Chains A and B, each alone.
Chain A
C-alpha cells in the first residue's frame, strides 16, 4: 500500500473514537470539489462511484511528471464520510505513479472509519477506494501500452 496512506491508516488505528471522529471531520473540512476545468455538472455516470449513497464521483488525471492527480465530487450535502475519505485519498495518493495508486486496498475503510461505519453501510466508501484503484490500473495500463 502507498506509504503515506499506510502511515495515516496506522495513525487512525491508534486513536480513540473521539479523536478518530475529529480527525475524520478535519479531513472532511479539507474536501475540495472537482474544478470546472476537470469536470462540470451534470457529471457523467462513467465517473460515478457505484453503490455510494453520497452520490460521489472520481477522476484521475495524469500530470506533466507522469503521476496522477485525483479529483472528487460528493453531491449529497450530508455525505460527510465520503468527503472525508475523498480528502484522505487525494492527500495521500495524488502525486504518485498510477502503478502505486493501483495498490490501494478497500481494507483501509474499516481501519480508518471503525465505529463510524454503521452496520454494514461502508460499502459506498469501499466502492470509492475501488473506483480509485480501477482508474489507476487503467492509467497504468495506458502508460505501459504507450511505452
Chain B
C-alpha cells in the first residue's frame, strides 16, 4: 500500500489528494469532483457522490477539428459543472487516471490551476468500498470568465517537436515497448488508433506510463522511485525541456502530470498529436 501523499517526497504534493480527503469533502461547496473515463457509460454506472461527468471526447475536444475546445467552450463547461475560479476541481477516473490527468491538463490550458487529481482514481475508490451514487447532480450555473487558451507552456505541436529534435531535447515515449520498437502499429486493443509507420521519434526514451503507478491500487509511486525511473535509469534532467507523447496524448498527459507535479520538472509539454500524427506524417524522421 502506498504511503500517505505528503510522505512521498513530491515536489508539489498538494496537487494530489487521497480518497480519504475526497470522502471528507463530498459536501464541500468549494470542491467540484469531476469524473473522466474512457468508457463513457462508467460514470452513469456509479460515481463518487456529487461528482459531475466530463466526457473527454464531447466536452474537451472540438467536434470538427482535431483540437481542444475554445475559451467559450471552456466557459460553458465550467458554467455547466457549476465551477468558479475559486472552485477546487478534483479529477479522477478509470485506467489509473489516464483521462483524469488528460482533463486536468486541458483545464491547465485555460489556467484553472485550482485543480487536483484523486490518487488511485476509480479503482482505489471501489477497492476501498467507498460510496457510489447513480444520482446525477445538478449545480447552479456559474459565470466563468476564462482567458484565451494558452497552449505554449504545456502543449507541443508538430513543429515544436521538429525544433526540439534539432536541439536534441528530452523526449519521452510513454507507449508500450512494442509500439516504441515499431513491432506493433497500435496500442493493444486499440487498432483504430493505428499509423502507417511504426517506431518512435528519434532520441525518445521508452518509459511506459504505467511504470509511474503502483499497479495494485493505481496510486502514483513515491518520488524516490519516480526519480530512479526517469532521472537515473533514463537520464532525464528536471531542468531540461521535455516533451512526452503517446498515440493521442492521453497516456502522455499522465506522464506530464507525474514529471511536472510529482518530480518538479521545470518544463514539460504534452505532444497530443503524438504517434497518430507523427506516424502518418510525410517526411519526418523515425527510429526503430
Interface, chain A (partner B; CB < 8 A): 21-22, 24-25, 28, 51-54, 77-81, 84, 115-124
Contact = CB atoms under 8 A, between A and B. Distances in A.
User: Chain B's interface: helix, strand, loop or mixed, by majority?
Assistant: loop
Given A51-B189, A115-B58, A120-B193, A78 B44 contact: no
Given A115-B58, A121-B190, A123-B191, A21 B44 contact: yes
A78 B37 contact: yes
B45 interface: yes
| Closest CB pairs A-B (n = 10) | A53-B189, A120-B192, A118-B57, A80-B41, A78-B94, A80-B45, A123-B192, A119-B57, A116-B40, A81-B41
B75 interface: no
A79 B39 contact: yes
A124 to B, nearest CB: 6
B126 interface: yes
Given A25-B44, A80-B45, A81-B39, 20 more contacts: A22-B44, A24-B41, A25-B45, A28-B41, A51-B190, A52-B189, A53-B38, A78-B37, A78-B95, A79-B39, A80-B41, A80-B44, A84-B41, A116-B40, A117-B40, A118-B39, A118-B57, A119-B61, A119-B248, A123-B190
Interface in B92-129: 94-95, 122-123, 126
Name which of B44, B58, B189 has the most chain A CB atoms within 10 A of its CB: B189
Interface of B: 37-42, 44-45, 55-58, 61, 94-95, 122-123, 126, 134, 189-193, 248
A95 B259 CA distance: 54
A78 B39 contact: yes
A8 B160 CA distance: 49
B56 A124 contact: no
A121 B248 CA distance: 12
Contact of B191 (A25, A51, A115, A119): A51
B40 A78 contact: no
B41 A116 contact: yes
B274 to A, nearest CB: 13
B168 to A, nearest CB: 33
Contacts of B58: 115
